[in-house]
Amino acid sequence: MMGMTGKIMNIENAYLNKVLEGQTIYRTDEVMLRHSKIIYLGYPAKINNNVFAIFIHIPTVEINNAVSNISKQFTYLLLFAIGLSFIGAYLISSKFTKPIIEINNAARKISDGDYSVRLSINTDDEIEELSKTINSMAENLSKTEKLRRDFIANVTHEFRTPLGIIRGYAEALYDDIVPIEERKEYIQDIIEEVERLNKLVNENLELSKIESGNINLKSERINLYKLLIDIVDKIKILKGNRSIIINGTDTFINGDSYYIEMAILNILSNSIKHTKDDGIIEINISNQDNPQITIKDNGEGIEEEHLPYIFERFYRVKEKGVGGLGLSIAKEIIKLHRGSIQVKSKVGEGTTFTIQFK
Ligand SMILES: Nc1ncnc2c1ncn2[C@@H]1O[C@H](COP(=O)(O)OP(=O)(O)OP(=O)(O)O)[C@@H](O)[C@H]1O
Ligand SMILES: [Mg+2]
């Protein structure tokens, strides 16, 4: 017999006998020790055919102490964990909310028309992605805004001269100050200006449509070689005595033949316009790495200082009157076909346009 307190306990005979008979006894509530219940366990053990009864007494006060110690520690741990999770939640939420507040402010500025805002968020996650998207949106909006302002300024400027001419001529005719034999000439000039304005309006509309991406490009298989033969055939009347040579073989791209034809016609009509009547225009179609068209003339050429601008809307080198849209349209069409267009030129020697498809 033994007890945890080191004292020998009194054991009722009835229990002792039960254990010696082979039963296991377990009690908690009846025995009191030092104002505390004790857990009381009797267990039979057989050693060398002798039966022993082993009794164990554990005062619950010690278990209670241990339990209350552990539960105290658990409470502290719990409080600590709750505190920690609050701090964590605050840190995480401020990590997320701060950039979202920044993005919100930027979006508000953009909606108020301030396109200069740029976000610099480095969270290395979707929020950073979003901030980058917003940056490029603001950049595109400011470009569009500039385009819109330039466009209005340009159109206003381009329209002023022909409208002035039309008005002046019409007034002169109305006031009867034009000699009879010149009247027809005046009327002819008015008609010409109106036609130019008409062309300008139509081309502008076309260019705006292309630039805004508001056209449904077909995706047809186009044989560039065949297309160029057709185009050159169509402009027979325009070309005068100039010889137009086509070199190449069947070369295919996917795209909208109507628009590709428009782009090539714009470049080719420039080449004709700026080459003397006995000039030579050479067209090469090749497909070494990618489909490529070069249109080379031996005309007047373009001075280097103008080269960077000739693809811009309304830009003309020395031509008078309205125009300057042909190359802008060509460039936008080629861009929509994921291609690029380049120019090389030397005054007095000629100009070469290269269209490169991907
Ligand atoms: N092959 C060329 N040789 C010399 N100059 C050229 C050639 N192609 C273009 N240019 C110059 O580039 C300018 C811009 O060309 P673009 O086709 O855009 O306008 P445009 O021909 O003047 O007018 P539009 O085509 O609208 O009738 C022209 O005014 C011309 O000065
Ligand atoms: Mg042109």
Please check the confidence at residue 57 and state whether its pLDDT lies above 60. Answer: yes
Please check the confidence at residue 75 and state whether its pLDDT lies above 60. Answer: yes
Write down the pLDDT at residue 334.
96
Q: Which of 235, 267, 270 to mutate to test the pocket of ligand 1 (most atoms within 8 A of CB)?
A: 270
For 231-271, the pLDDT digits (tens) are: 999 998 899 999 999 999 999 999 999 999 999 999 999 99
Instruction: Choose the weakest-confidence range: 41-45, 231-235, 334-338.
Output: 41-45
Please check the confidence at residue 107 and state whether its pLDDT lies above 80. Answer: yes
pLDDT, mean over the chain: 88
Please check the confidence at residue 321 and state whether its pLDDT lies above 90. Answer: no
| Stated pTM of the model | 0.61
What lines the ligand 1 site, CB under 6 Å? 266, 270-271, 274, 297, 299-300, 302, 310, 315-317, 319, 323-328, 351
Tell me the CA–centroid distance for residue 318 and ligand 1, in Å: 9
Residue 62 and residue 54 in contact, taking contact as beta carbons nearer than 8 Å: no
- 4: confidence class by pLDDT, cuts 50, 70, 90: very low
| Structure tokens belonging to residue 177 | 């100050």
- 274: confidence class by pLDDT, cuts 50, 70, 90: very high
**3-class DSSP assignment, residue 157:** helix
Give me the percent of the chain exceeding a pLDDT of 90: 54
Write down the pLDDT at residue 29.
62
The structural domains of the chain, with segments of one domain joined by +, span 126-211, 220-356
Q: Which of 207, 206, 242, 246 is nearest to 224 (CA)?
A: 246
Tell me the CA–centroid distance for residue 324 and ligand 2, in Å: 6
Q: Which of 321, 323, 334 is nearest to 203 (CA)?
A: 323
Q: Does domain 126-211 have CATH number 3.90.245.10?
A: no
For 282-303, the pLDDT digits (tens) are: 999 999 889 999 999 999 999 9
Write down the pLDDT at residue 294.
98
For 122-141, the pLDDT digits (tens) are: 988 898 999 999 999 998 88
For 201-241, the pLDDT digits (tens) are: 888 888 888 887 778 889 999 999 999 999 999 998 899 99
More confidently predicted of 168 and 204: 168
- Alpha carbon distance 163, 253 (integer Å): 42
Sheet holding 292-297, edge to edge: 243-248, 280-286, 292-297, 350-356, 340-346
Beta partners for residue 204, in sequence order: none
| Structure tokens belonging to residue 319 | 């031509």
- 49: confidence class by pLDDT, cuts 50, 70, 90: confident
In angstroms, how far is the first alpha carbon of the chain from the final one? 97
- For the domain 220-356, what is the CATH superfamily, name and number? Histidine kinase-like ATPase, C-terminal domain (3.30.565.10)
* Mean pLDDT confidence for 34-63: 80
Residue whose CA is closest, atom 17 of ligand 1? 326
Measure the CA angle with vertex 267, ends 262 and 270; round to 5°.
125
Residue whose CA is closest, atom 12 of ligand 1? 310
Write down the pLDDT at residue 123.
86
| Structure tokens belonging to residue 287 | 């497909």
